[in-house]
């Protein structure tokens, strides 16, 4: 399994707890979360939802209360809008909620009537894929990254699969060949 999928070959989780530098493409470090009841990250598998939550829990200054026992509920991999009830129940108990969601953030709009919500759409951020490619020294054009994001969303897992399939190729070439010869199910 590739690093982009969050585990190393022996199955142990990688990421922030393994000392990896967090790419704060959302500017989370400089955002105040004081008074925010729900922070949600929305996107496909491999888009960085869980890693962003790990960062908030481990390093964000407004989450220090969590580290000293304050009430925070984390929902990882909420698959559809039917699961919003779980978020509402936790918020109703006065807990701060961090959620990794596989559904559109607009579904949470009604919650803004009662709670302060901060929601991020991670599938609409080609710049994060460009930063990821830059960090690995892989050549690309913005046009190829935009095409990738239109087809797969801005997720690291699928980008890693494409590059693993065609090692040594530029991202443009790997994507072009992948779209002709392969598919992700």
| Per-residue pLDDT at 14 exceeds 60 | no
What does CATH list as the number for 3-124? Answer: 3.40.50
Tell me the domain boundaries of the chain.
Answer: 3-124, 126-181
pLDDT digits (tens, 9 = 90+) for 125-145: 899 999 999 999 999 999 999
Q: Report pLDDT for 66.
A: 62
For residues 17-38, one letter each, b for 16 or more C-beta atoms within 10 angstroms of the residue's C-beta and e for the rest, the string is: eeeeebbebbebeeeebeebbb
The rounded mean pLDDT for the chain is 86
**Class of residue 116 by CB neighbours under 10 A (exposed 0-12, middle 13-18, buried 19+):** middle
| Per-residue pLDDT at 69 exceeds 60 | no
Instruction: Give the pTM.
Output: 0.78
pLDDT digits (tens, 9 = 90+) for 109-125: 999 999 999 999 998 88
Least confident range of 56-70, 72-86, 107-121, 171-185: 56-70
87 vs 110: CA distance, rounded Å: 12
């Amino acid at each position: 399994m590739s690093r982009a999928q969050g585990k190393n070959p022996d199955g142990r989780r990688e990421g922030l707890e393994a000392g990896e530098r967090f790419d704060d493409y959302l500017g989370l470090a400089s955002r105040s979360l004081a008074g925010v009841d729900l922070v949600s990250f929305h996107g496909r598998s491999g888009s960085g939802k869980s890693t962003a939550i790990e960062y908030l829990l481990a390093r964000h200054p407004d989450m220090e209360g969590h580290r000293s026992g304050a009430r925070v509920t984390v929902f990882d991999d909420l698959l559809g809008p039917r699961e919003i009830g779980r978020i509402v129940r936790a918020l109703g108990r006065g807990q701060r909620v961090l959620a990794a969601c596989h559904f559109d953030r607009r579904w949470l709009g009604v919650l803004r009537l009662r709670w302060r919500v901060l929601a991020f759409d991670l599938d609409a951020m080609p710049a994060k894929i460009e930063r990821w490619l830059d960090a690995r020294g892989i050549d690309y054009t913005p046009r190829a990254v935009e095409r990738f994001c239109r087809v797969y969303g801005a997720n690291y897992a699928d980008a890693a699969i494409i590059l693993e399939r065609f090692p040594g190729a530029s991202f443009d070439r790997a994507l072009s060949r992948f779209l002709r010869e392969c598919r992700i199910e």
